[in-house]
Structures are given as structure tokens and as C-alpha cells.
Amino acid sequence: MTLATDSTNATDALLHRHPANPILASKDWPYRINSVFNAGATLLADGSTLLLCRIEDRRGLSHLCAARSVNGVDGWKIDPTPTLMPNPDEYPEELWGIEDPRITYVPELQQYAVAYTSYSKGGPGVSLALTKDFRSFERYGVIMSPDDKDAALLPYRIGGLWALIHRPMTSLGAHIWISYSPDLSHWGGHRVMMEARKGAWWDANKIGLCSPPIETPRGWLTLYHGVRQTASGSLYRVGLALFDLQKPDVCLLRGDSWIFGAETDYERGGDVHDVVFPCGHTISPDGDTVNIYYGAGDSCIALAQASLRSLLNWLDHKGEPSGLERNC
């Protein structure tokens, strides 16, 4: 077993909170809401940033609303009305709302794929929609039946098939899986990508994908959340792993400790305390700065920045090839 001492301290943290945090909160919204959090993110063709935010209304149900900004930090232009509402008449799986979108730009389709949680009587499932402009959406309906969430599409086919990362709840536990499809509608080839650890670990029992994996020459660099159950509730933290580019179910490296957890007032408080929950990121024009957008305390959206090079470097020092439990 490796020694768990960590020379990383506050001054050499991997993720740096933006001084403007939280960058979006309910008071910024053009209509009355309870909270805004867990946003998907992408760069648009003109280089501006789009966040597709989860909005919880004052009934407790969620929908999605787009916010656009030239610099990805402030000056947000928020759609005056909801951008994507649940449509339970045609999609009954959306009866209790739609949540936690992850956005992937798909060059082959010249469209953005939005994977989101649809919530209904059967529990949370994974739904998919395609869009060119975040104004009109082509819904594919539920593509992974309940209980399943935390999904994102990879940007291109692997071995001729589309690949979706997701987190089904099974009798084996809440692990990260990958599935394949010829047409985005019919899915199979299911494989476990990475298992939650057990016992005292920070990512014991329940893990899930954060934002879509980042393609690097070394592999798919992947932020994931781990949930530690405690006597006073759940602690949502963020960890790091690297997967093989052509065989994404093969975990090349997995970090031992979390790299980001709730520390500030807006992360430790809110409707659900002690939650940091990234669903989206963008890469700055320098090719190295990762802008990570995360829901804080299920109440607002915040931004943390990291260097891609430093993240990979950290994994080289703190990672082990340990996707599956046998290696943990």
C-alpha cells in the first residue's frame, strides 16, 4: 500500500477558485427561481462560453436555461425564459424535471449532444438531445433506463460506435460504466470503466462522471465525483483519472486523493451542504487552462481553473492503474 502523505497544500492546489465566485446565482436570473447549479459548458463558434444551467424552480422541479458570456466569467446573457423544459406529455420520463446536463460537441454531426438526467416515477434516467444552437433541440428520449445518471457522450465514434459514459445503480454498486451504440438510440456493449472504492475511501460506494472527459495525447483525462456518506450527510468531492483513448474502459491512472472539495461558504452552505459538482468545462485558447464550472451547495455556479499539464503531472505522481476494485 502506498503511503498517503500528501505534500500538496493550499498554495499548490491543482484547482484555483475564481475571485468572482460564485459567478451565477438565483438573484441573477431574469425570472423567479429557487436555485441555479450543475451546468454543462461549451465554447461556441465565436469563442464565447455557453453554460446550460440546471434551474430548480419553486416547486422543486428542474429545467435547463442557457447563459452566454464573452469571457466565461461575467457579463452573462441569460435566456429570458427556460431554454429546455421537461416535456412529460411526450417524454413521461421527464415528469419530475430534467437535471445536470453534460455537453459534447460532435464534429461528425456538427451538433452539440446534451446528455441529461430525466427524473420520473421510475427514478433518474439518462436522456439525450442534439442541438445546433441551444434554441431548438432534437430529443432522443431516455437512452439509459432508471436508475442511471451522470452521463456524457464521447465526441467521436470509437471502432465505429458512439460511446456514452454513465452511472447506473446496480446490485454491484454505483460505478462508472461505458456503453456503445451505432445510432445514439440503441445501446449495448456495456462495460464497467471504474468502480467506486470501498470502506473509508473518499470515493467509496458511489462515484460518477463530472464533465465530459478531456481528450489529451495521453488519454481521456476525466474528472469524477466521489461521495462519502457521513453521519451528517454526503460529502461530494472531485477526483481525477485517465483512460485509454481507443479503449476508454481501460483505466490507465487513477488518483488516490480528491483534488477538489467543499471549502468556501458557498460550497459548504446552500440547499445541500458540502457539495462541489462540476458538469462542464472549457479549455482556454492557451490550450492548457481548464475552466471547470461547478454547482456549489446545489445553490449557485462557481468557476475553478486548472492547468492540464499540472493535472496530468499530478496523476503521474499520485495515480495508479486502479479502475477496478481488484487493483484498489
Cβ-based nearer residue to ligand BMA, 209 or 252: 209
| 251 near ligand BMA (CB under 6 A) | no
> Which DSSP string corresponds to 217-261?
TTEEEEEEEEEEEETTEEEEEEEEEEE-SSSTTSEEEEESS-SB-
**Residue 150, SS3 per DSSP:** strand
| 262 near ligand BMA (CB under 6 A) | no
Integer Cα distance of 199 and 203 in angstroms: 9
Cβ-based nearer residue to ligand BMA, 261 or 295: 295
Length of the chain: 328
Cβ-based nearer residue to ligand BMA, 93 or 298: 298
Piece of 76-84, 190-198, 254-262, 271-279 that binds ligand BMA (CB under 6 A):
271-279
- For the CB of residue 183, give the shortest distance to ligand BMA in the complex, in Å: 28
Site map 153..192 versus ligand BMA, x via CB under 6 A:
----------------------------------------
**Residue 113, SS3 per DSSP:** strand
| 148 near ligand BMA (CB under 6 A) | no
- For the CB of residue 62, give the shortest distance to ligand BMA in the complex, in Å: 8
Binder of ligand BMA out of 112, 116, 162, 277 (CB under 6 A): 277
| 99 near ligand BMA (CB under 6 A) | yes
| 274 near ligand BMA (CB under 6 A) | no
Binder of ligand BMA out of 275, 276, 290, 303 (CB under 6 A): 275
The CB-nearest residue to ligand BMA is: 272
Integer Cα distance of 313 and 321 in angstroms: 15
- For the CB of residue 181, give the shortest distance to ligand BMA in the complex, in Å: 24
- For the CB of residue 173, give the shortest distance to ligand BMA in the complex, in Å: 15
C-beta of residue 220 within 8 angstroms of C-beta of residue 198: no
| 100 near ligand BMA (CB under 6 A) | yes
- For the CB of residue 121, give the shortest distance to ligand BMA in the complex, in Å: 17
| 295 near ligand BMA (CB under 6 A) | yes
- For the CB of residue 67, give the shortest distance to ligand BMA in the complex, in Å: 18
Cβ-based nearer residue to ligand BMA, 133 or 263: 263
- For the CB of residue 277, give the shortest distance to ligand BMA in the complex, in Å: 4
Give the list of residues 6+ apart from residue 304 with CB closer than 8 angstroms, or none. 15, 16, 17, 18, 260, 278, 292, 294
Binder of ligand BMA out of 23, 24, 36, 38 (CB under 6 A): 38
User: Rounded to whole angstroms, what are the CA distances from 71 to 52, 263, 282?
Assistant: 16, 25, 11
Extended beta strands in 160-310, E state: 162-170, 173-174, 176-181, 188-194, 207-209, 214-216, 219-230, 233-243, 251-255, 276-283, 289-296, 300-307
Extended beta strands in 34-122, E state: 35-43, 49-56, 62-69, 77-78, 98-106, 111-120
Sheet containing strand 276-283, edge to edge, reads 16-17, 300-307, 289-296, 276-283
Residue 52: which of 86, 78, 73, 81 has the closest Cα? 78
Residues that bind ligand BMA (CB under 6 A): 38, 99-100, 236, 272, 275, 277, 295, 298
